[in-house]
Structure 1
């Protein structure tokens, strides 16, 4: 291979070098303003096409809502983004430079993608403060974890996140004693401790009271800009309260995209989803 070929190999957009994976995090290139590219993605399970030539683009700092009927491919899409599922074909890039297909699940999380599942998974026998401390980015091997001492910057980070998720007064309360909504906010806070650039949030208001839903709307809206937030949700009132741009999935591909008013007025969306 000559020097020109070497240069071309180095400059390939889909190239991620092994030494880069050993760092604490890959620096995502957002120079084009787009943080997530899913292009021509397809994946089948036992002959069923869960994702079918999906093309989806998410801008850095935006709050995007993903809606669609059951079986539309919403969960599978998030599984692909986070590395849990590998597609049969297509490409997935985080920014201009990070090929998600070449990274493992932990490496994708380390690169700056956080995912919150529908059911909160907090450490119920630990306090709110301890949950955030355990979630802090850093060396998670047994010995470093056991011997770690919080410094001032780390304590400030926990205090900052406690304020964001509005759990300052519950900081010394065991997580198991929190309400359902508070556990959801704590789990979002645990993700924030990792300083993710992209947050994937799955049905955040399922089982919440109206008051908790309102607070969750405020929380997710406040995160946009500093973070990119993708919310999958079935509650249309909640989606309307936070939506800036809505993507409708159907049969594994994008059916419609636009403002909430635009997608609600789309005859195809009414037929396959809103008219149910």
Structure 2
């Protein structure tokens, strides 16, 4: 091996290991069935019954406070579902339950018809095909847009593999497609730290897409964005709908109107109302507790 190749490999290794030590990526190869130890892949999610996510009578309490109260909810494959509600309604706790961060006291949570999410850890749930994005963007600011997306690939991230990893043609095509989808084709070589707030949000969504999730959980994705960035994010989500299922928690009602089909309103840990945005905005209960008179 030439000195140049060794230096390139060392640089690649240093960047990858620094990023991995930050703890943003799970190195597991997949979710495991708790009873058999067999690796479960997103391709095995059974949606023949028309639901990719199903929660029934879920309850969660924290020190006597009922954060989630007999909550039932289901989402169809390819659906874009918006979740709204006042502060403390249980929106974040709902996402915590789905992603495995919080275990409910009781109830059922299924991914597709057969995968009981309560039997899996948070990293395993991510590998099963559920990607979560928090409100604050989490990207590797010292890496380029390209390197962030490359790092997010489902690959072996061991030391040796990191030194000699090269994208194959399918991975290159996938990465190129996602760069265009997230509207960062003109910034592919730019350091992530130099991006605007909205662009960082798009990059993190792109990093999730590199994992090829079936379901995306998105917490206040347009908070802090400019009007133009918000409009472009709406375009992005409408592009993703159908290919992926999306659950979007958001307070920006103009953004909700631009993207929503079905809106679920939470209050006191339960579903208060559900329907089109016009329907829930006309609901007296929603007006009382959330929209105001």
**Normalising by structure 1, what TM-score?**
0.92
Asked if the contact 1:16/1:99 (under 8 Å) is kept, the reply is no
Displacement of 1:137: 1.1
Secondary structure, in 3 states, of the residue corresponding to 1:61? Answer: coil
Residue matched to 1:40: 57
Displacement of 1:23: 5.0
Question: Quick one: distance in 2 between partners of 1:183 and 1:206?
Answer: 12
Paired residues for 1:63-212 under 5 Å? 63-212=80-229
Secondary structure, in 3 states, of the residue corresponding to 1:34? Answer: coil
Residue matched to 1:242: 259
Displacement of 1:143: 3.0
Displacement of 1:240: 0.9
Asked if the contact 2:84/2:263 (under 8 Å) is kept, the reply is yes
Displacement of 1:237: 1.0
| Structure 2, unpaired ranges of 5+ | 1-32
Question: Quick one: distance in 2 between partners of 1:82 and 1:53?
Answer: 18
1:19 aligns with 2:40: no
**Normalising by structure 2, what TM-score?**
0.87
Displacement of 1:125: 0.2
Asked if the contact 2:83/2:265 (under 8 Å) is kept, the reply is yes
| Structure 1, unpaired ranges of 5+ | 1-14
Aligned with 1:253 (options 251, 270, 293)? 270
Question: Quick one: distance in 1 between partners of 2:158 and 2:62?
Answer: 35
Question: Quick one: distance in 1 between partners of 2:270 and 2:67?
Answer: 9
Secondary structure, in 3 states, of the residue corresponding to 1:70? Answer: coil
Aligned with 2:75 (options 51, 55, 58)? 58
Residue matched to 1:9: none
Task: Give the aligned length.
Answer: 261
Asked if the contact 1:16/1:98 (under 8 Å) is kept, the reply is no
Asked if the contact 2:41/2:129 (under 8 Å) is kept, the reply is no
Displacement of 1:26: 6.1
Asked if the contact 1:41/1:52 (under 8 Å) is kept, the reply is yes
